[in-house]
Structure 1
Amino acid sequence: MADSLIEVRDLERTFTVRRRTGGLRRRATTVHAVHDLSFDVPAGEMVGYIGPNGAGKSTTVKMLTGILVPTGGHLRVGGLEPAVQRTELARRIGVVFGQRTTLWWDLPLRDSFELLRKIYRIPEPTFRANLDRFVELLDLGDLLYTPVRQLSLGQRMRGDITAALLHDPEILYLDEPTIGLDVISKGRLREFLRALNAENGTTLMLTTHDLQDIEALCDRVIVIDHGTTVFDGPLAELHRQGGSTRTLVVDLVDEAEPISVPGAEVRRVEGPRQWLAFPADASAAPIVSAVAASYDVADLSIQEPDIEEVIRELYARG
């Protein structure tokens, strides 16, 4: 695609692993972390990049950022070859690697931001404007003079996201950005990322196990397994192909017969608690309304489908 910001063609990445075979002898085995991987990401798109553990997600992102060198295939990000033009590319991308912080552990949060300003040579007016905006949107005002080591995981994650965006990158790679955040903080972060994409046109590539993040942010999902693409399209289509289900967990005030409402099926009953399954691409609202209207409910919760289960079902269906 001529207008693609990220171009991946037949990408390969292998590692040599030596395993002991007895005594002092070891046998070299080639492991294909990424194999025959191809996709394009146009500028301004928000893409969910998901798959089971060990599927090759982190390896792909490391190649996209220039940390790892591909074994084979074609890879361009913004017209640059990441492993060769890594310094130039670093000024155009932002990266948040899950639980690996880019902040200085013993320094106050504000000092980490100042160091990044100097590293990226961010003009003072741009730095001040961006920092003020992100501090307000991510609620960091009371944390700026707190050492990073004293921050909670959720607070540090918000700091890492700010650090990744101070230099106005074209592309933002996010690995589990809502880990450790409470429900309210997750909602604020999702709103922030939507606004960032809408106002700045920032391209987002999101790796997560939380499908609510994907549903809230991404129109497109790329699923990989064993290092290659198994699905590329809308999330609703992924659920349809995988036949996945969400679960409405209903706690009734008293024990009752299995709940009967349109669009859902009772899969399990334990005392006053019942589990109702419904298609993952369907809205929970009418089912919740029907249950609340007909039964005496003490509590409700929704369990999202496990993406690994979705992929297993996808494979089982061929």
Structure 2
Amino acid sequence: MTVISARGLRKEFTVRVKVGRLRRDRRTVAAVDGVDLAIERGEMVGYIGPNGAGKSTTLKMLTGVLTPTAGDISVCGLSPVRQRTRLARRIGVVFGQRSQLWWDLPLRESFELLRHIYRVPPAEHAARLLRCRALLDLDEFLDTPVRQLSLGQRMRGELTAALLHGPEVLFLDEPTIGLDVVSKQAVRGFLAELGATGDVTLMLTTHDLADIEKLCRRLLVIDHGRVVHDGTIEALHARYGSRRRVVVELESPAAPPEVIGATLVTVTPLRFEYDLTGATAGELLVRLAGLPIRDVSIVEPDIEDVVARLYTGVPVTDAP
């Protein structure tokens, strides 16, 4: 079942541009320019792009905050702008730099206020809060005023607040921005478990590509308002020429053999590296069995490098 659908989605803004020393002209800029989306129930989708690509604008249209200039859009079978109040009961939203919690109230009381706002039955609220308390370790700061929470604690509170009314779709905009390593791991682990149930559809925008790699099978890349990639991370790697690399360290100098399906990219007397272009790591190691090997390591392709190539338009044949 498709829960998020958009066709020809477009959002224009009018900006004033300086022309000469004293004059300014109005100019129309398309922040989102013909985006098509179809996201099924239970999917975990990463939505990434450079600054100004149109990520946040898309999310604001999907949640009813902004009215599209053109195009058709549906979330949970509702029109986000015309039926915004009804939609709010069926979606959750987490913006990394904005809060839906009450600054001077203890976290527990913020959750209770949200129960009344969304009119959640007490038993349902208690069950969902209990699950979030266990998965996000909330108990130690439930009675702490929000203003006294660390950034990591507040983000765990924001995630809980977005889920207490049982949304069908969860929109996440930079949910791990500014968090330390431990807090990031806690948030990622929670989202991975949430997505594994298939009960909630997640759409995640972030500049931290580790979030995408750990959470999302499907990746949407937007640039200059248009979707330039829609598929798996593996497909992105294949399209832009990134390969797994096998690094071989030797006890004594030896000549590296040629291996079908592997490209030799670096050679020194005691070390050489292969890019796997068709062979598996196991097949390569079988061919290397007679060498005086001290150590072997496999380096996974760096998604940040792949996405950088995509943004700059470097084709696969020119990739290093």
With the shorter chain as reference, the TM-score category is 0.7 to 0.9
**Cα gap change, 1:10/1:267 in structure 2, threshold over 3 Å: closer, same or farther?**
farther
Mapping of residues 249-288 of structure 1, within 5 Å: none
More displaced, 239-248 or 140-149? 239-248
Partner in structure 2 of residue 172 of structure 1: 170
Cα distance, 1:26 vs structure 2: 1.2
1 CA distance for matches of 2:12 and 2:236? 28
Which shifted more, 25-34 or 212-221? 212-221
Deviates more, 1:19-28 or 1:92-101: 19-28
What one-letter code is carried by the residue in structure 1 that aligns with 2:104?
Answer: D
Residue segments in structure 2 that go unaligned for 5+ positions in a row: none
Alignment RMSD (CA, Å): 3.9
Higher Cα Rg, which structure: 2
Q: Distance in 1 between matches of 2:215 and 2:80?
A: 26
The one-character-per-residue Cα deviations of 1:215-262 (angstroms, maximum 9, x if unpaired) are 22222111111111111111100111122468999xx9xxx99xx899
Q: Distance in 2 between matches of 1:143 and 1:216?
A: 27
State the secondary structure of the residue aligned to 2:167.
coil
Match of 1:194 in 2: 192
- Report what 1:309 is aligned to: 308
Match among 144, 166, 169 for residue 146 of structure 1: 144
Greater shift in the superposed pair: 123-132 or 194-203:
194-203
**Any idea what SS the aligned residue of 1:206 has?**
strand
SS in 2 for 1:161: helix
Structure 1 residue identity aligned to 2:311: R
* Structure 2 partner of 1:67: 65
1:20 offset after TM fit, Å? Answer: 2.3
Distance in 1 between the 2:153 and 2:283 partners?
36
2 CA distance for matches of 1:36 and 1:25? 32
Native 8 Å contact 1:95 1:172 kept in 2: yes
Gaps of 5+ in 1: none
Cα gap change, 1:215 to 1:69, in 2 (>3 Å): same
- Does residue 113 of structure 2 align to residue 112 of structure 1? no
How many pairs does the alignment contain? 307
Show the counterpart of 1:32. 30
Match of 1:238 among 221, 236, 239: 236
Identify the residue that residue 219 of structure 2 maps to in structure 1: 221
How has the CA–CA distance of structure 1 residues 313 and 133 changed in structure 2, closer, same or farther, with 3 Å as cutoff? Answer: same
SS in 2 for 1:155: helix
Tell me which of 4, 12, 15 is aligned to 1:14.
Answer: 12
- Is 1:90 the equivalent of 2:75? no
- Residue 98 (structure 1) shift: 1.6
Q: Equivalents in 2 of 1:41, 1:51: separation in Å?
A: 18
In 1, are the aligned partners of 2:48 and 2:220 still within 8 Å (CA)?
Answer: yes
Matched, 1:41 2:39: yes
1:317/1:35 Cα in 2 relative to 1: closer, same or farther (>3 Å)? farther
